[in-house]
Amino acid sequence: MTRQTFVAGMEQAGERLDRALARLCPDQTRSGLQKLLECGLVTLNGKPAGKHDRMRAGDEIVVEFPDPVPLEAKAQDIPIEVVYEDDDLLVVNKPQGMVVHPGAGNPDGTLVNALLFHCGDSLSGIGGVLRPGIVHRIDKDTSGLLMVAKNDRAHQSLAAQIKAHSFLREYEAVVCGVIKEDSGTVDAPVGRHPTNRKRMAVTQKNSRHAVTHYTVLRRYTHYTHLRLRLETGRTHQIRLHMAYIGHPVAGDPVYGKPLCGLRGQCLHARTLGFVHPSTGRYMEFTSELPAYFRQFLTTLAT
C-alpha cells in the first residue's frame, strides 16, 4: 500500500474533493479515484472522505493506493488470422473488437494471449511480459494488420524503421462530413488530454510531433471514404487528427459519436510495408476491407 498526503491550498478552497483529487493525482483515472473514495481509502483530516466534501485551505487529504496486482499474460487457444510468418516475424490481421495486449479491464482474451499460444516462447521480450513481440499496436475497435516480432533483433530492426518513418502504415477510414480537398496533411502535435487520461489531445504541452496524410477515395452525401498514411504513429493519432479538422472517424465513441450499425470506429489498418530484418528485402502486405466496413460503405451508397 502506497500513501500520499496533500495539503489543500487557497486555490482548492470550496472545491469538491473528487475534482481536487483529479488534479492532485493526474496519473490516476477518475473512475479509479472514485473507487478509492468508495472503499474508504481517502481521508480528509483523518476521517473517511466523500466525493462531495468541500475543501478548505489547510485541509489534509491522505490517499492510500493499493499495491498493483501483478499481471501475467497466459497462452490461450484463440483463433487468429496469420497473413505471413517466418522465423523473425509474423503479420496478423486483427479483427475489430480484439484488444492487443492485457491491461486493466482486459486481463485475457487479447491478441497477445493468442500469440503466446500460437508462437510459444518465440516472441521478442522487448515489450515486457504483457506485450511480448508487439512492435506497434492498433486500438481495440480498429481492425487490420499488425506486426509481431519473434526475437529481439527483429524487434529492434522494425522499431528503428518506425522511428525513421520508413515503415509503411496505410489505413482506410470513413469520416463524417464531406472533405472538399482531394488530399491533405494534418500536422498537429499529440499529447495526453489535460483532464481525461483516457483521451489524447492536440496540444503544445507535453506533446509529440504527429503527421497524418490523407487522400479521398470517394465522397458520399454526409461522409468521406479516405486512405490515410501515418508519418508518425502516436496513440489515437488518426482518430484525433480527423476530429481536429472537423471530420471524426464514423462511429468513433471518443472523438466523435457512436453510430447505429457500427460497433466502433470505421477504421482499418490496410497496408504494412517494411524491410525484412534478416533478408533486407522490402515486403508489403494488404488486408481486404472487413465485412463491417464493406457493409457500411454499401449503406452509404444506397
Would you say residue 166 has pLDDT above 80? yes
Q: Please say which residue of 16, 35, 65 terminates a domain.
A: 65
Cell 475497435 identifies what position? 141
171 and 159 together in one domain = no
pLDDT of residue 105: 73
pLDDT grade for 229, boundaries at 50, 70 and 90 = very high
Q: Which residues pair with 147 in a beta bridge?
A: 91
What would the pLDDT profile of 35-49 be if each residue is shown by its tens digit? 788 888 899 999 888
Q: How many domains does the chain have?
A: 3
Instruction: Rank 66-75, 102-111, 130-139, 179-188 by mean pLDDT and report only the highest.
Output: 179-188
pLDDT digits (tens, 9 = 90+) for 81-110: 999 999 999 999 999 999 998 876 777 889
Residue 259 lies in a domain: yes
Are residues 33 and 44 both part of a single domain?
yes
Q: Which of 117, 122, 125, 130 is nearest to 90 (CA)?
A: 122
- Whole-number mean pLDDT of the chain? 90
Is 70 exceeded by the pLDDT of residue 72? no
**Per the residue annotation, which of 139, 141, 152, 182 is the catalytic one?**
139
Burial of 7 (0-12, 13-18, 19+ CB in 10 A): exposed
The verdict on 204 and 100 lying in the same domain is no
- Summarize pLDDT for 192-220 with one digit per residue, the tens: 888 887 899 999 988 999 999 999 999 99
Residues 276 and 182 in one domain: yes
Residue 210 counted as domain residue: yes
Same domain, 189 and 287: yes
pLDDT at 69 over 60: no
The CATH number assigned to the domain holding 8 equals 3.10.290.10
Annotation says 141 is catalytic: no
Asked if residue 115 and residue 38 are part of one domain, the reply reads no
Is residue 256 included in any domain, yes or no? Answer: yes
Q: Is residue 31 part of a domain?
A: yes
**185's grid cell:** 496533411
How many alpha carbons fall within 13 Å on the CB side of residue 1? 7
Asked if pLDDT for residue 71 goes beyond 80, the answer is no
Which pLDDT does position 102 carry in this prediction?
80
For residue 179, the enclosing domain spans: 165-302
Nearest-angstrom CA–CA distance, 214 and 227: 6
Where residue 17 falls among pLDDT bands split at 50, 70, 90?
Answer: confident
Q: pTM (2 decimals)?
A: 0.76
pLDDT computed for residue 90 by the predictor:
95
152: domain CATH number?
Answer: 3.30.2350.10
Task: Give the pLDDT confidence score for residue 214 in this predicted structure.
Answer: 98
In a domain, 70, yes or no: no
**60 found inside a domain:** yes
53: helix, coil or strand?
coil
Cα 197 to Cα 254: distance, rounded to the nearest angstrom: 12
Q: Specify whether 170 is located in the same domain as 159.
A: no
Clarify whether residues 170 and 273 are in a common domain. yes
User: What are the tens digits of pLDDT across the range 128-161?
Assistant: 655 788 899 899 999 999 999 999 899 999 999 9
pLDDT at 126: 65
CB 142 within 8 A of CB 293: no
Task: Determine the pLDDT at residue 95.
Answer: 96
The dihedral over CA atoms of 224, 229, 231, 233, expressed in degrees to the nearest 10, equals: 80
Do 61 and 93 belong together in one domain?
no
**80 in a domain, yes or no?**
no
Cα separation, 94 vs 62, in Å, equals: 43
Question: Given pLDDT bands bounded at 50, 70 and 90, which one contains residue 232?
Answer: very high
